[in-house]
Amino acid sequence: MEPRIPAEIEPPANVLLVDANAREPNACTERCYETDSTAALTVSFVDDQLEQPDPDEVDGRVGLLTIGNDLLDERADSDPDFADSVVVDSVCDPTDLSEIGIAVSRFCEHWFDDGEQISVCFESLDALIRYRSPKEVFQFTRILLGRLESVDADAHVHFDPSRHEDRLVSAFGSVFDAVIVDENADRSLPEATDEEVEELLAAWSEASENGLGLEADPSTEATDEEIARILGNECNTTR
């Protein structure tokens, strides 16, 4: 893993933010790079659910996607109005990678069509790994990043290294444009060698022969239907 400092990163970019203190207030703004976004989506989990801002006090557009709270899952009755200044959506099943990917993609599609500059904060890959295997989440991440690149989004994804071995963190970092490592995390995180990362990725590639499909190229032009098909077929086969 070769960490970068925010000043070196030219947006649009997909960034892995390796930080054990990611849930502290202002963690993103203090440790990540600045963007000129006009529409900002935050993907959080039910344990870290964000307070909905006052629409009259929002500059631009704000999207809040909560995962794992069936009380907020109103999509069965009505779709959110993406023209609103504050858009709230939810996915009740945190194991459903296909639905999570589609929910993020819907924000991107509507905002991109409206000419917005999109930024995305995905608050925790760790939460997904609690529900699905690392190799499934790795495939999901690759496909999702392809979708974000297709709309020129500035995106950063939080990853707490204290819960995982360093080669796992480095493997995820390999699919991002850049990696930002918090100083405290850097001192406690042994550096994985290229050989260790390649060994892990090779093991995941072998798993693709049994149905995971890691060899598939996540097209940057993937539609919602293609995302559903890819994630539904490839990530659900190992359950």
Gap between the Cα atoms of 170 and 102, Å rounded: 26
Average pLDDT along the chain: 76
pLDDT at 114 over 80: yes
pLDDT tens digits, residue range 228-239?
Answer: 555 555 444 444
Confidence of residue 86 (pLDDT cuts 50, 70, 90): very high
Gap between the Cα atoms of 239 and 220, Å rounded: 26
Confidence of residue 65 (pLDDT cuts 50, 70, 90): very high
- Region of residue 21 (left: phi > 0; alpha: psi -120 to 50; beta: else): alpha
**pLDDT value at position 227?**
59
pLDDT at 179 over 90: no
**pLDDT value at position 112?**
94
Q: What is the domain partition of the chain in residue ranges? A: 11-235
Gap between the Cα atoms of 236 and 131, Å rounded: 12
**pLDDT value at position 217?**
45
Gap between the Cα atoms of 144 and 235, Å rounded: 13
Q: What is the pTM for the complete model shown?
A: 0.79
Answer with the residue of higher pLDDT: 180 or 76.
180
What are the CA-CA distances from residue 131 to residues 84, 94, 102, 128 (Å)?
32, 7, 18, 5
- CATH fold of the domain at 11-235: Leucine Aminopeptidase, subunit E; domain 1 (3.40.220)
Q: Which stretches within the chain are classed as H helix? A: 27-31, 97-113, 125-131, 134-150, 166-173, 183-188, 194-208, 224-235
